[in-house]
Every structure is written in structure tokens, then in C-alpha cells.
Amino acid sequence: MGHIVVIGAGQAGASLVGKLRTEGYDGDITLLGAEDGPPYQRPALSKAYLLGEMERERLFLRPRDWYDGNDIDLRTGTRAVAVDGTARTVTLEGDEVLHYDQLAFTTGSHPRLLPDAIGGNLDGVYQVRNLADADAMMPEFVAGRRLLIIGGGYIGLEAAAVAAKLGLQVVLVEMADRILQRVAAPQTSDYFRDLHAAHGVDIREGTGLDRLTGEDRVTGAVLSDGSTLDVDFAIVGVGIYPATALAEGAGVACDNGIQTNIYGQTSVPGIWAAGDCATLDWYGQQIRLESVGNAIDQAECVARNMLGADVPYAPKPWFWSDQYDIKLQIAGLNLGYDDVVVRQTGDAQSHWYFRGDQLLAVDAMNDPRNYMIGKRLIEAGKSPAKPLIQDPETDMKALLRP
């Protein structure tokens, strides 16, 4: 029946091998993961797990014996070092060679690091990208200590919320004009800036890091405006980039990710890709979706297509972030928006992104009802009139009717 090898044991890899089995594939499956444990959920690392509200075992997507019971050869602590797309082989550290009939890259992404020249290699400087990172920094979260967060994206803001709740003194610097500038409207940035300020976080926008200071361990920071800070530890959240090195070495076309067609196939026969590492077609342009929802959906679609289903992947983007007692839910993609409509209903708030009269996306803060309505409207291709959304008296559910 053949041998399918999946490189990358994250959310996408775990979803892909699970779908292969539920779709009836009874050939050999090997799932390769560089980390020591079984696949686990990553969003909780910067939220509930870091806060101490989630036990380690609850992170795992499935128990280890599930893979054994489904005859999936899960190899943890195993790193692939080369793929030969012509010979259809994978070389592992230690020179073991696996032969495959089909292969999927679900290699995810890597965090962007601070250069060593500005202190990126000092002890006490962390990223929040994997379980080992979270475990290493957790002892640092002690009330009264001074934390510097570099980067005002969702990872940085979530870490700031955890630290503030635990009683740390937090300074967050963002080089852009505002936090969340790359991913959200000014209205959403304003909302979360005010939220963090209310919890004592010192957010400094338009301010970069010049360098971290200290001998072996970070003890301070010099910012781009010349100001200095005393620092006990630092968290870097300045973005990620797709893990494409193995794919590039195999001759697979890559451009800000492993390029795939609407079925998840790459430019090399027999090789597929899904998750954060892969691009996909979005209305004629190649984009990457860095989200759990996409990792699951794209991987499951690829699994079906590896078995001959020929089903085009139609992404339905959704994202979320938890900060303090606020749950942000996002539906759709706001690419190319030119107007934002704000809907306020009691303590709940939602921001509706439009390009012209077309609804593109919704940011909903503690507003799950309007999030679901917005999600269904976007998926149905419906765009309500802006005044209706803004009017708190509007029966939003009625907007879904034909």
C-alpha cells in the first residue's frame, strides 16, 4: 500500500496522519518530530500553560499510545536532514534513510531571533515558540520582577497579559507606530492598548530596541529613543518565518513558504505541504495562514488528496487570542480593507472590515455571537449594509436570512 512520510509533528502533521487513517489508508505512516514529546497544541504556551492554568499532559493533542494503536510510527526527537525528491528518500540525523511513496512537509515556522550583536544570545532572553521555551521561562515569572517584551504582536501581548496577571512589571516596545499594526485595524490596536494600560503594562510604540545589556545574562536594555531600562529577563516576539530549508534542498519551489497548488501539491511530484510552512491560493494570490484552524483544515484536505480525492482547499480563516478576561475571535482576512465599522453592544465590541461594500473580516472582543454571525456572513459571501452593523438595535441574526 506504500509508505507516507510526514515531516513535522505539530498540529498540521498530527491532523494529517490522523485523517489518513480515518479515510481508510492502511499503508505505512511515519511522522517525524524534532521535539521529544508527541504533538501538542502551541497557542496555550503563551496563554494558559504559561499562566500555570493548564497541565503539561493537557497540551498533547493525543496520547502517545494513540499513535501506536493506529499503527503510526511516531518518531520524536528525530530530525530529517535531507530529502531527495527524485529518489524519494528522507535522510535522518545519524544517516538512516527512509524511502517514501508520498511525503508531506508540515514543518511549521521558526521565530525570528535577536542578533547576538545586540544581546540576543544573553541568558534570560526567550522566545515563546515551543514547549521547551515555555518551560525554560516559566520560573522567571515571579511577582515584582521586570520583564521587557520586544514586539507588539499577539504573542508579545499574550505574554504581557500573563506577566501582568502574575504581578510583574512589564514594558513592551513596538518599533511600528502601533501594536498589531501588521494584522489589525487601528481600532483593534486602540482597544488592546487601553486594555493593557488598565493592567499596568507600559506600552511604548514607535520605539525599537537598540541593544540588550549585561555580561552573561541580560540586566538592561537601551531603546532606540536613548532611554534605558533595568531588566530581569526579556521575551522576543518579532515574528516568524516558514521552515522551508528541507523543501528547498529537495528542489521544491518556495517563496515566503512552500508553494502549493489548490490541492496542496508542491512543484515536486509526490511531495505535499500544509500548515504554517505552506502557501495557498487566496483569490489569485499566494499567502500563508499562520493559524491552528488552517493547520488542521489544510492538512486534512492534503491527506484526502494524497489518497486521490482531488478536493480543492477552500480556506475559512479564523484566529483567536486570549488576554486577561478578553477573548478576541477573528473571522476572515482583512487584506486590502479600506473601512472599519465598530459595533458596540454593552461590554462586547466588534470591528467589521470592509473593502468598499464587501465584508472581509471581523474582530470580536468578548462577542462570540457576533463573531459567529460575521463568520457565517463571510463564508456565504454576504455583505450587510454598514449602518445596520453599526446600529446597536439591529437584529444581527436577521442578516443571515436569504
Domain ranges of the chain: 3-110+240-306, 113-236, 325-400
Residues in the chain, total: 402
The Cα–Cα gap between 351 and 364 comes to 6
H or E stretch at 5: strand 3-7
Predicted confidence band at 287 (pLDDT cuts at 50, 70, 90)?
very high
In the 8-state DSSP scheme, what is residue 295? H
Q: Is the pLDDT of residue 281 over 90?
A: no
CA distances from residue 187 to 112, 178, 202 in whole angstroms, order as listed = 27, 11, 19
Q: Are 365 and 331 in contact (CB under 8 A)?
A: no
Predicted confidence band at 47 (pLDDT cuts at 50, 70, 90)?
confident
Predicted confidence band at 401 (pLDDT cuts at 50, 70, 90)?
confident
In the 8-state DSSP scheme, what is residue 268? S
pLDDT of residue 270: 97
Report the greatest alpha carbon distance in the chain: 67
pLDDT of residue 231: 98
Q: In this structure, how many other beta carbons lie within 10 angstroms of the beta carbon of residue 255?
A: 10
C-beta contacts of 190-195 below 8 A and 24+ residues apart: 191/349, 191/351, 191/365, 192/157, 192/323, 192/328, 195/323, 195/324, 195/326
pLDDT above 90 covers a percentage of the chain that reads 94
Q: Which DSSP string do the residues of 89-149 spell out, in sequence order?
A: EEEETTS-EEE-SEEEE---EEE----GGGTTTSBTEE--SSHHHHHHHGGG--TT-EEEE
List of residues 6+ apart from 281 with CB closer than 8 A: 261, 262
The Cα–Cα gap between 257 and 252 comes to 10
pLDDT tens by residue, 130-160: 999 999 999 999 999 999 999 999 999 999 9
Please name the CATH architecture into which domain 325-400 falls: 2-Layer Sandwich (3.30)
Q: Give burial (CB, 10 Å; 0-12/13-18/19+) of 366.
A: middle
Predicted confidence band at 346 (pLDDT cuts at 50, 70, 90)?
confident
Q: Are strands 233-236 and 146-150 parallel, antiparallel or unpaired?
A: parallel
Record the pTM.
0.94
Q: In this structure, how many other beta carbons lie within 10 angstroms of the beta carbon of residue 267?
A: 16
**Rounded mean pLDDT of the chain?**
96
pLDDT of residue 282: 85
Q: Which three cell numbers stand for residue 37?
A: 514529546
The Cα–Cα gap between 316 and 103 comes to 25
pLDDT tens by residue, 304-325: 999 999 999 999 899 999 999 9
What's the mean pLDDT in 360-388?
A: 96
User: Is domain 3-110+240-306 in CATH 1.10.357.10, yes or no?
Assistant: no
In the 8-state DSSP scheme, what is residue 313? P
pLDDT of residue 283: 83
Q: Which three cell numbers stand for residue 20?
A: 489518513
Please name the CATH architecture into which domain 113-236 falls: 3-Layer(bba) Sandwich (3.50)
Q: Is the pLDDT of residue 1 over 90?
A: no
pLDDT above 70 covers a percentage of the chain that reads 100
The Cα–Cα gap between 11 and 152 comes to 25
| Helix (H/G/I), strand (E/B), else coil: 352 | strand
pLDDT of residue 118: 98
pLDDT of residue 396: 94
Q: Is the pLDDT of residue 58 over 90?
A: yes
Same fold, 3-110+240-306 and 325-400: no
What's the mean pLDDT in 172-183?
A: 97
The Cα–Cα gap between 180 and 190 comes to 10
pLDDT tens by residue, 187-246: 999 999 999 999 999 999 999 999 999 999 999 999 999 999 999 999 999 999 999 999
Radius of gyration of the chain (CA): 22
pLDDT of residue 285: 85
The Cα–Cα gap between 112 and 44 comes to 20
What's the mean pLDDT in 95-124?
A: 97
